[in-house]
């Protein structure tokens, strides 16, 4: 069982985490949800389309202008509070690697801290424990936040992913984060080239076999673009194909831009796997 905020998700229930970027320079939407009203409209749409988690980020992952902790908090804390007011039951996640930002958003009502940079600030897990919230433990290849990988090599990329994420998860549990609130993420693109991310996907079952819920953040990423030679706005089909494979191999949580499309993919995979009945059953019955 995965327990986040007021929600409980059983073993075979796929969970959609919708991305809401509070940044003016997002690689995907170029700041379309930087202002409050468009961002709140995005939340409404994502929830209506089936997202159980809203993931709010105040700093884009890639290189760019410096964003201080104070500015990151300004972009996220008040927004978290407003989303919590409007959606008492939705799970609110905040994508941050900074413990002081994590503390501020937890005070405002966040349920999950999405540490996409792999424990670079070890105090973030302490904040998660103190506020009894969820934590995403990610493999980022040891790179500094907001930097791109350069000639990264692994003897065995999945072995390294398991070593790091399981270590972060066990440390978080030892600090007091509840085990049913911890997720592990292979960190596609983070500290990896395209071949590394493809192998991580191919071997995702090894992560699922650990028993920790696996979160994948695949949406429109560079490894999809390089694999198909497609720009950002033409990566949806590649993303959905990767989502289907990940679902079949045991991923539980999906951080996405396209909620409705992802839900259809996950529902179809769940039905093929025998975990979900078809929505209707007319064929061959008339």
Model-wide pTM > 0.75 = yes
How far is it, in rounded angstroms, from Cα 51 to Cα 1? 18
Mean pLDDT across the stretch 204-209?
A: 98
| pLDDT tens figures, 17-63 | 999 999 987 767 767 787 899 999 999 999 999 999 999 999 999 99
Q: Which residues make Cβ contacts (< 8 Å) with residue 198, sequence separation at least 6?
A: 223, 227
pLDDT tens by residue, 97-114: 999 999 999 999 999 999
Query: What pLDDT score does 206 carry?
Result: 98
pLDDT at residue 280 in the model: 95
User: Looking at the predicted structure, is the pLDDT value of residue 117 above 90?
Assistant: yes
Q: Which two tokens stand for residue 250?
A: 């045991």
pLDDT of residue 69: 97
| Structural domains for the chain | 2-273 (3.20.20.20)
pLDDT of residue 30: 65
Dist CA 80 CA 23 (whole Å): 14
pLDDT tops 80 at residue 9: yes
What pLDDT digit, counting tens, does each position of 210-266 carry? Answer: 999 999 999 999 999 999 999 999 999 999 999 999 999 999 999 999 999 999 999
Percent of the residues in the chain that have a pLDDT greater than 90, as a whole number: 91
User: What is the H or E stretch that residue 107 is in?
Assistant: helix 99-108
In which order are the strands placed within the sheet that holds 53-57?
182-185, 134-138, 112-115, 91-95, 53-57, 15-21, 253-256, 215-217
pLDDT of residue 150: 86
Burial 113-123 (b: 16+ CB within 10 A, else e): bbbbbbbebee
Spatial contact of 46 and 21, defined as CB atoms under 8 Å apart: no
- Rounded to the nearest 10 degrees, the angle between the axes of helix 157-175 and helix 123-131 is 50
Q: pLDDT per residue over 73-101, tens digit each? A: 999 999 999 999 999 999 999 999 999 99
DSSP label at residue 275: S
262-285 pLDDT, tens per residue?
999 999 999 999 999 999 999 988
Measure the CA–CA gap between 253 and 250, rounded to whole angstroms.
10
């Amino acid at each position: 069982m995965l327990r986040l905020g007021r929600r409980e998700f059983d073993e075979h229930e796929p969970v959609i985490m919708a991305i809401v970027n509070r940044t003016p320079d997002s690689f995907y939407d170029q700041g379309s949800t930087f202002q409050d009203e468009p961002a709140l409209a995005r939340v409404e749409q994502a929830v209506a389309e089936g997202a159980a988690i809203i993931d709010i980020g105040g700093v884009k992952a890639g290189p760019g202008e410096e964003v201080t902790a104070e500015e990151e908090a300004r972009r996220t804390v008040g927004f978290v509070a407003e989303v919590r007011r409007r959606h008492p039951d939705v799970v609110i996640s905040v994508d941050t690697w900074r413990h002081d930002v994590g503390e501020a958003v937890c005070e405002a009502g966040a349920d999950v801290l999405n540490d996409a940079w792999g424990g670079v600030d070890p105090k973030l897990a302490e904040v998660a424990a103190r506020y009894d919230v969820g934590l995403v433990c990610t493999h980022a290849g040891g790179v500094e936040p907001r930097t791109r990988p350069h000639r990264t090599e692994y003897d065995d990329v999945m072995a390294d992913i398991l070593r790091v994420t399981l270590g972060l998860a066990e440390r978080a549990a030892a600090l007091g984060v509840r085990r049913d609130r911890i997720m592990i993420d292979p960190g596609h693109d983070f500290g990896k080239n395209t071949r590394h991310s493809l192998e991580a996907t191919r071997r995702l079952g090894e992560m699922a076999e650990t028993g920790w819920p696996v979160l994948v953040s695949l949406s429109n990423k560079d490894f999809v673009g390089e694999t198909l030679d497609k720009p950002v706005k033409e990566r949806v089909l590649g993303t959905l194909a990767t989502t289907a494979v990940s679902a079949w191999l045991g991923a539980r949580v999906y951080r996405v831009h396209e909620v409705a499309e992802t839900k259809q993919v996950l529902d179809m995979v769940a039905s093929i796997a025998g975990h979900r009945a078809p929505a209707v059953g007319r064929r061959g019955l008339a």
